[in-house]
């Protein structure tokens, strides 16, 4: 493993309590991300001009995917909603996992056919934003079709995170942050099915694996909660590179920029000890660095 001291820039000192859900929109050349803890927020940054806008909500927003009409599919505490940037309205669309009221939505992403893969977990955020213990692996992974039909794809998940795919769409990666495991599955793009689950990487040396994405060379970039870094992991599960970050809780990553050669990184500020905030005062901000490799725009939702 190589530790790479890459210059890291804080683009927005957004002070997110739990930043997440980032994606790059090629058409508008904007970066989108969110803050999960209520009042939740959706952020939009036009990187070239620095124009930053923020919308706030009383419902947790936890994941996002763009849609062809300019609206955004949003994972929420209880299901899925549609966000309209023109009006600022967040309109409920589908309930997810209604039989598990103790769960909440978490990370999600679309496959190359536009199906949204959305994970749940035991709710760990109290009504005042306080941390709640995760005492059981009650989370599930859902595949959501364009018409809203949902299929349970995985069960007994501690903290659902990091759904992403290999460049050839033959491998699906999924993270259980509670278990410290990034799983790999065989993936059938036509049917949207997964099989042959195996451990890709289960290191406990660099915090918990959180959000993830894949670069053009097929390597996985894994944000590390409590790890103060982003890891680059090869398709066989070996750690190729560690990029230190000026934040203790690193939550999600995505490729963007005009050439898709910038890695954008979200972080969390909630419940960070004062000494850590003094050391890294920009925790909770949106960061970026040049990883030396290109990536992919995240797929749009087909609905």
- The whole-angstrom separation of Cα 62 and Cα 75 is 5
- The whole-angstrom separation of Cα 187 and Cα 203 is 24
Tell me, what's the pLDDT at 128? 84
Q: Confirm if 46 and 30 have CB atoms less than 8 A apart.
A: yes
- The whole-angstrom separation of Cα 179 and Cα 168 is 27
Where are the chain's structural domains? 2-289
The answer to whether the predicted template modeling score (pTM) of the entire model surpasses 0.95 is yes
Report CA torsion sign: 30, 53, 285, 172: negative
- The whole-angstrom separation of Cα 247 and Cα 225 is 9
Residue for token pair 């050839």: 168
- The whole-angstrom separation of Cα 163 and Cα 119 is 9
Q: Confirm if 187 and 202 have CB atoms less than 8 A apart.
A: no
Tell me, what's the pLDDT at 2? 80
- The whole-angstrom separation of Cα 52 and Cα 56 is 14
For 38, the 3-state DSSP assignment is coil
Q: What are the Cα distances from residue 272, in Å, to 23, 269, 281?
A: 25, 6, 10
Residue 5, preceding peptide bond in cis (omega within 30° of 0): no
The topology (CATH level 3) of 2-289 is Neuraminidase (2.120.10)
Q: Confirm if 280 and 199 have CB atoms less than 8 A apart.
A: no
Q: What are the Cα distances from residue 237, in Å, to 51, 140, 207, 295?
A: 38, 23, 16, 18
Q: Which of 293, 224, 211 shows the shortest CA–CA distance to 254?
A: 211
Residue for token pair 């259980």: 176
Tell me how many helices (H) and strands (E) the chain has. Answer: 1, 25
Query: For the CA atoms of the chain, what is the radius of gyration?
Result: 17
Tell me, what's the pLDDT at 132? 92
First to last CA, the chain: 41
Sheet holding 249-256, edge to edge: 9-12, 286-289, 262-268, 249-256
Q: Which of 254, 255, 210, 212 shows the shortest CA–CA distance to 228?
A: 210
Largest CA distance in the chain: 50
Mean pLDDT by 10 residues, the chain (303 residues): 86 98 96 97 97 97 97 97 97 94 97 98 92 96 97 98 98 98 98 98 98 98 98 98 98 97 97 92 98 97 95
202: annotated active-site residue: no
- The whole-angstrom separation of Cα 264 and Cα 184 is 23
Q: Confirm if 43 and 75 have CB atoms less than 8 A apart.
A: no
Tell me, what's the pLDDT at 1? 74
Q: Confirm if 96 and 121 have CB atoms less than 8 A apart.
A: no
**Exactly one of 16, 35, 107, 210 is catalytic; which is it?**
210
Please list the alpha-helical segments (H only) found in 54-211. Answer: none
């Amino acid at each position: 493993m190589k530790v790479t001291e890459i210059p890291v820039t804080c683009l927005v000192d957004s002070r997110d309590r739990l930043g997440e859900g980032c994606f790059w929109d090629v058409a508008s050349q904007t970066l989108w991300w969110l803050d999960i803890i209520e009042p939740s927020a959706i952020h939009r940054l036009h990187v070239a001009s620095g124009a930053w806008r923020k919308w706030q909500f009383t419902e947790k927003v936890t994941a996002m995917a763009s849609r062809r009409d300019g609206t955004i599919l949003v994972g929420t505490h209880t299901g899925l909603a549609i966000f309209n940037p023109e009006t600022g309205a967040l309109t409920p669309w589908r309930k997810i996992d209604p039989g598990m009221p103790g769960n909440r939505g978490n990370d999600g992403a679309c496959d190359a056919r536009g199906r949204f893969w959305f994970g749940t977990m035991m709710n760990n955020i109290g009504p005042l934003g306080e941390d709640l213990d995760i005492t059981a692996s009650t989370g599930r992974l859902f595949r959501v079709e364009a018409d809203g039909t949902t299929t349970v794809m995985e069960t007994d998940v501690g903290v659902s995170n990091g759904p992403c795919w290999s460049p050839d769409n033959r491998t699906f990666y999924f993270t259980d942050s509670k278990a410290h495991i990034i799983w790999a599955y065989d993936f059938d793009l036509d049917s949207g099915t997964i099989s042959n689950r195996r451990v890709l990487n289960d290191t406990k040396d660099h915090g918990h694996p959180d959000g993830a994405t894949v670069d053009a060379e097929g390597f996985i970039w894994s944000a590390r909660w409590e790890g103060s870094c982003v890891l680059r992991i090869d398709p066989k599960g070996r750690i190729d590179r560690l990029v230190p970050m000026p934040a203790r809780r690193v939550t999600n990553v995505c490729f963007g920029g005009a050439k898709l050669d910038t890695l954008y990184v979200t972080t969390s500020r909630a419940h960070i000890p004062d000494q850590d905030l003094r050391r890294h005062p920009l925790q909770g901000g949106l960061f970026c660095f040049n990883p030396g490799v290109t990536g992919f725009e995240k797929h749009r939702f087909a609905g």
